[in-house]
Chain A
Amino acid sequence: MTPADATGVLVLDPRGELELVSVDSVRDAAALLTTTGASKPVESQELLLAAVAAQVVGVVPGVDAVTVTLYGRNGPATVATTDPSTVALDEVQYGRSDGPCLLAIRTHTTTGVELRDDGRWPELTALAAERGIRTSLACPLFEPSDERSEPRAAMTLWGRDPDALVPVQTALIDVFTSAAAGIIRTTARWAQAEARARGLLTALRSRDLVTTAKGVVMARLGLDADEAFVWLTETSRRVDQRVRDLAALIVSNPDLVAAYAER
């Protein structure tokens, strides 16, 4: 496995091998999207993250389980794990909006915690104790960024031996956190490119609707093209409706033009 640098991402090539690809713009992501022909990025994101998580357990001494947390539209969620029973340890943090993993994401700082009774997170500690977990190391996956769309995510390493994750083997763990970050970033860019394509089609359809409505208004009110457009925008303001929505109504029922003109 190759560590991803700041602008590179790991992708699974058609032969099933991981490959490092540079992605630093939506255009690159769009290129990636067409060249790999990937059709279900979200599915492969979860599979790839699970694969990385499994490697961490296999390679980093003292790690018994790994979870990956990613903020989505509905807040944080665990998107990959090596042990389903540890998901509860993430979820108790989400419920409280507090915990080492969320702290790591918020502060962009790797947060190592020995889960003791007198600690800061008693609920988490109790839940962890039931599963024999005594320590956690939460690693943020992304640097602070001005980019609003930068994902917020962390990888949490869980251990039974309270001393196992100290001292932190940063260099070793970095390999995996940057790989996970690359996977998440690629998926996010993918989604952005797809949203762009949809937005483009919506914009074109809107224009179709508005121009068609213009023709309807011209025919009904005997206006020329410019006057009809002015009529549409003024009416849209007057009845407090977006031009596109007004256009859709008029196109589906031209009789509405007279009704609007009288109002």
Chain B
Amino acid sequence: MMESARADDPALGRGGVDGRRHARLWRLITARTSAAGEVGAGHGWAEVVCTVAVERLGIDAAAITVRADGRTQQLVAASDDWAAAIEELQYTVGEGPGVAAFRAGEPVLVSRLAENDERWPGFGDEAAAAGVGAVFAFPLQAGAIRLGTIDLYRRRGGPLEADALGDAAVLADLAMVAVLSVDIEESDTALAGSDLRGFYDEVNVTTGMVATQLRISLEDALLRLRAYAFSHHLPLTEVSRAVVDRRLRMDTASE
């Protein structure tokens, strides 16, 4: 299946301890999904990965988000509303550890969030205000394809322990598998139940509306929406809903 030439690359070597780690976490997850009768459901599976992450890694919350280039982002699973809200914050401000981990294709480990303010000025302040002490974001990647991130949140600052770090990398693999097991034909609905806050459709609608009304590019329209949401301390989805319902107009409420 693979060449031995790059066996010195730690990311590739999955024998020994790492192989056992993988098998153990894999069993934990499959045992739960079978027990819950959720085999085959990518969405349910992803939630189990988040639950296992919270139980095993000494963190407070976890979320799995599918990301693509540009504006596309979709929350697939979150262990609680807090994680979902912080994922949405990353979407609102268009930056943060998850966004960075996805762009770089490597983990972004922030053990003390307040100290990283200059990296993500928008995200840092808001997340710290929401009680986030540390964030650890891992890309979901298979070969050449990168699909998103699993973001781990903890209220207390400080690094992820070495053992938990290993487990987290493996859980990122399992999260990728969970996302891939979603049926493509049904992925529109399967990936994000309408009950989940990850349904970011309104933001796209609003971006299209604002770009057309103001005769500006989609990127500029999204930038305006983000600026408005950020300066009013509102989630982007809430601002978008207000625009869609025509309770708010971007041109009159220019910021």
Q: Which residues of A contact B (CB under 8 A)?
A: 9, 11-16, 26-27, 30-41, 43-44, 47-48, 186, 190, 193-194, 196-201, 203-205, 207-208, 211-220, 225, 228, 251, 254
Tell me, yes or no, whether B66 is within 8 Å of chain A by CB.
yes
C-alpha gap A123/B159 in the complex (Å): 71
**Minimum CB–CB distance for A12 against chain B, Å:** 5
For residue A257, which residue of chain B has the nearest CB? Answer: B212
Contacts of B184 in A (CB 8 A): 196, 199-200, 203
Contact B205 A194 (CB under 8 A): no
For residue A21, which residue of chain B has the nearest CB? Answer: B1
Q: Take A14-B7, A203-B184, A216-B209 as given contacts and tell me if A211 and B2 are in contact as well, using a CB distance cutoff of 8 Å.
A: no
Contact A12 B143 (CB under 8 A): no
Contacts of A228 in B (CB 8 A): 205
A/B pair count, beta carbons within 8 Å: 165
Q: Take A14-B14, A214-B208, A215-B207 as given contacts and tell me if A26 and B181 are in contact as well, using a CB distance cutoff of 8 Å.
A: yes
Contacts of B210 in A (CB 8 A): 215, 219
Contact A31 B14 (CB under 8 A): no
**Minimum CB–CB distance for A32 against chain B, Å:** 7
Contact A197 B180 (CB under 8 A): yes
C-alpha gap A151/B211 in the complex (Å): 49
For residue A39, which residue of chain B has the nearest CB? Answer: B143
C-alpha gap A190/B177 in the complex (Å): 12
Tell me, yes or no, whether B4 is within 8 Å of chain A by CB.
yes
C-alpha gap A150/B180 in the complex (Å): 20
**Minimum CB–CB distance for B249 against chain A, Å:** 10
Tell which of B52-60, B67-75, B92-100 binds the partner: B67-75
Count contacts on B: residues with CB < 8 A to the other chain: 52
Q: Take A33-B142, A36-B1, A208-B72 as given contacts and tell me if A193 and B12 are in contact as well, using a CB distance cutoff of 8 Å.
A: no
Within 8 A of A (CB), among B129-169: 141-145, 147
**Minimum CB–CB distance for A183 against chain B, Å:** 8
Tell me, yes or no, whether B118 is within 8 Å of chain A by CB.
no
Contact A212 B14 (CB under 8 A): no
Tell me, yes or no, whether B213 is within 8 Å of chain A by CB.
yes
Q: Which of B1, B142, B177, B205 contacts A11 (CB 8 A)?
A: B1
Tell me, yes or no, whether B62 is within 8 Å of chain A by CB.
no
Tell me, yes or no, whether B43 is within 8 Å of chain A by CB.
no
Contact A204 B72 (CB under 8 A): yes
For residue A38, which residue of chain B has the nearest CB? Answer: B2
Contacts of A27 in B (CB 8 A): 177, 180-181
C-alpha gap A213/B212 in the complex (Å): 10
Contacts of B147 in A (CB 8 A): 197, 200-201
C-alpha gap A26/B45 in the complex (Å): 14
Contact B143 A215 (CB under 8 A): no
For residue A210, which residue of chain B has the nearest CB? Answer: B204
Q: Which of A11, A31, A198, A212 contacts B207 (CB 8 A)?
A: A212
C-alpha gap A129/B58 in the complex (Å): 71
Tell me, yes or no, whether B22 is within 8 Å of chain A by CB.
yes
**Minimum CB–CB distance for B121 against chain A, Å:** 26
Q: Which of A9, A44, A201, A204 contacts B2 (CB 8 A)?
A: A44
Contact A35 B212 (CB under 8 A): no
Contact B211 A34 (CB under 8 A): no
For residue B172, which residue of chain A has the nearest CB? Answer: A34
Other than the given A27-B177, A33-B142, A37-B14, 19 more pairs (CB < 8 A) read A15-B4, A16-B7, A30-B142, A30-B177, A31-B26, A31-B173, A34-B141, A35-B22, A36-B14, A37-B2, A38-B1, A41-B1, A197-B147, A214-B208, A219-B208, A219-B210, A219-B213, A225-B205, A228-B205
C-alpha gap A211/B174 in the complex (Å): 30
**Minimum CB–CB distance for B190 against chain A, Å:** 10
**Minimum CB–CB distance for B26 against chain A, Å:** 7
Contacts of B37 in A (CB 8 A): none
Contacts of A32 in B (CB 8 A): 1
Tell me, yes or no, whether B188 is within 8 Å of chain A by CB.
yes
Tell me, yes or no, whether B11 is within 8 Å of chain A by CB.
yes
